[in-house]
Chains A and B, each alone.
Chain A
Amino acid sequence: MSRTELPWLFLGHRVRPYSLAVTCSTSVVVWQLLILRNPPGDLLDNGVPGHLIGAVAIVAVLALVVGFWRDSDQMMQVGLLLTSGVWFARFVYTALDPGIFTGGSALLSLSWVIASVGAFMLEHFTGADPVPRRRDRV
């Protein structure tokens, strides 16, 4: 069974390529929703649902970062699970928005949903314990 990690270390920790990518992309969602307060479309501008989705996105990013730093499969799974929810919410509000420029954004969000769900399932059903770090550093 294949692993989800790269065979080398970064800062002494195993790197999961998809988790790294979705951490970056979800950080952009946090930036749009909570800092710029200007996500694609007009639905979530300065609204409670937008803040809620942004808050979940922050938790997801933190879970992924902690999971990377502590080599925790559990935290990685929580992070991936939450990112799938965040991106699905983003897909729905960009798909429902009547603006003509949000259709492509919605499809991109749907792609992230598919990838996050798949990565979560992969981590859950095939994830093995990480190789001991101390041994790798020798």
Chain B
Amino acid sequence: MSDATIAAIAGGILVVLQIIVVRIMDWYFPKGRMSKSAAVNSVDTDDDECAGEGDHEAQ
């Protein structure tokens, strides 16, 4: 097996390993992932910005 083939296979192995790790983490820590509602609440909490945006939409 040539070094070039080893390089190509190594890249593929890394991709597969990442997929396996992600699957295991999703399975092992199902609540570790950020929920959509939590994400929305954490992104936009500025009351002033919301009020300004509402005024802008009204115009």
A contacts, CB < 8 Å to B: 1, 3, 43-44, 47, 49-50, 52-53, 56, 81-82, 84-90, 92-93, 96-97, 113, 117, 120-121, 124-126, 128-129, 131, 135, 138
Whether A125 and B33, one on each chain, are in contact in the complex, defined by CB atoms closer than 8 angstroms, is yes
* A94 CB to nearest B CB, Å: 8
Chain B interface residue count, CB cutoff 8 Å, equals 29
Residue-wise, chain B 43-58 has the 8 Å CB interface mask toward A (1 for contact) of 1100000000100110
Is chain B's binding surface mostly helix, strand, loop or mixed?
helix
Question: Interface of B with A (CB < 8 Å)?
Answer: 2-8, 10-12, 14-15, 18-19, 22, 25, 32-34, 36, 38-40, 42-44, 53, 56-57
Could you write out 17 A-B pairs with CB less than 8 Å apart?
A1-B39, A43-B4, A49-B2, A53-B7, A53-B8, A53-B11, A81-B18, A84-B15, A89-B7, A90-B7, A92-B6, A92-B11, A96-B3, A113-B14, A120-B18, A125-B33, A129-B39
Interchain CA distance A49-B8 in the complex, whole Å: 6
A89, A117, A138: which contacts B11 (Cβ < 8 A)?
Answer: A89
